[in-house]
Amino acid sequence: MATIDARFQLDWPGFQLDVDLQLPAKGVTALFGHSGSGKTTLLRCIAGLERPRLGRLSFKGNIWQDEQSWLPTHRRPLGYVFQEASLFPHLSVLNNLRYGQKRSQATQRIALDQAIELLGIGPLLDRKPDLLSGGERQRVGIARALAVSPEILLMDEPLAALDLKRKQEILPYLERLHDELEIPVLYVSHSPDEVARLADHLVAMENGRVVAHGPLSETLARLDLPIRLGEDVGVVLDATVGEIDKEWHLARVDFPGGSLWTRDRGIPAGKRVRVRVLARDVSLASAEPAPSSIQNVLHGHIDAIADDDHPGLQLVRVKIGDTYLVSRLTRRSAVGLGIAVAQPIHVQVKSVALME
């Protein structure tokens, strides 16, 4: 499979980046980490906006930089979305979109019209950027990056500068990008929620280094993930809507090894969805639990046990069919249940988040 092969070493006062990474050249790859972890710097290196001491980068077999050669940013077939939309204030929305489009020699994989439609900015084209809301500006910024018909889209926390309402406004557009575009996306984020919704592949960074990377669900299910997620520890399952229960307004989502009931959000049966299950919403029982308000009870085996950040807590990974769930429980409960690897266990899931 065609890949992105990146090797960067960069020394700044008080910060070092040291990365050697192979990424799939398809789907959405999240570069995830806390601020100062180097994720934005890595993205800027890939874009050619930083020139590291040592850098090798190839994209689908084309060398963008190595010891001898250096392709400047404007010759790299990429699109870049900055944290602030950074629209040109002297140009109208339409001319912002055209700025890159008319300079791009790429075959028009993404027509301007398609980018405008995809981001829903048709009514804004004649306006000047300073008359747009923050969310509108960022949608224009994304459309502008797409209009150059890039072979890869780099996004640097495109939602970080926006409030919750604006985020909710843009997230559906990003999900559409994910579904409708065939180009790979590198998405920098410090938000576990955005990562769970958008990413297929996860690169976790800390102190300028990659501490874990792999397919999203697999990587999130790792108990030894060195990055501190706190309340956001959990897994993401790829599932299918199996049945809609009209009477109770519930939907059943099926994943390899089991199924879960959740609120019906109007997603039709047969559609592929993502289900996010947080560790704090998963509890364990050694015997078949008595009837309770928790409807989702699954059966599996304990797969791994690890300490959580807090000394009173443990994380337990349970294998259900081919799927892993992670549960957070107190060390006292773990001892009380006599938790041990390979032991059969009943799993209660209190709530799940369904993502289209």
Q: Which residues bind other proteins (CB under 8 A)?
A: 47-49, 72-75, 78-80, 82, 84, 86-90, 99-100, 103-105, 130, 144-145, 148
Of 154 and 334, the one with the shorter C-beta distance to other proteins is: 154
- Minimum CB separation of residue 101 from other proteins in Å reads 8
Of 42 and 202, the one with the shorter C-beta distance to other proteins is: 42
Of 148 and 313, the one with the shorter C-beta distance to other proteins is: 148
CB 230 within 8 A of CB 313: no
Of 78 and 334, the one with the shorter C-beta distance to other proteins is: 78
Q: Which residue, chain included where needed, has tokens 């520890």? A: 233
Of 104 and 283, the one with the shorter C-beta distance to other proteins is: 104
C-alpha–C-alpha distance, residues 229 and 225, integer Å: 9
- Minimum CB separation of residue 80 from other proteins in Å reads 4
C-alpha–C-alpha distance, residues 247 and 254, integer Å: 19
Residues with Cβ within 8 Å of 238's Cβ and at least 6 positions away in sequence, in order, are 217, 255, 272, 274
- Minimum CB separation of residue 5 from other proteins in Å reads 21
- Minimum CB separation of residue 161 from other proteins in Å reads 12
- Minimum CB separation of residue 143 from other proteins in Å reads 12
* Cα 296-216-300 angle, rounded to 5 deg: 35
Helices 134-146, 93-103: axis angle to 10 degrees equals: 20
- Minimum CB separation of residue 149 from other proteins in Å reads 10
b/e map 302-332, b = 16+ CB within 10 Å: bbbeeebeeeebbbbbbbbeebbbbbbbeee
C-alpha–C-alpha distance, residues 81 and 79, integer Å: 7
Of 76 and 167, the one with the shorter C-beta distance to other proteins is: 76
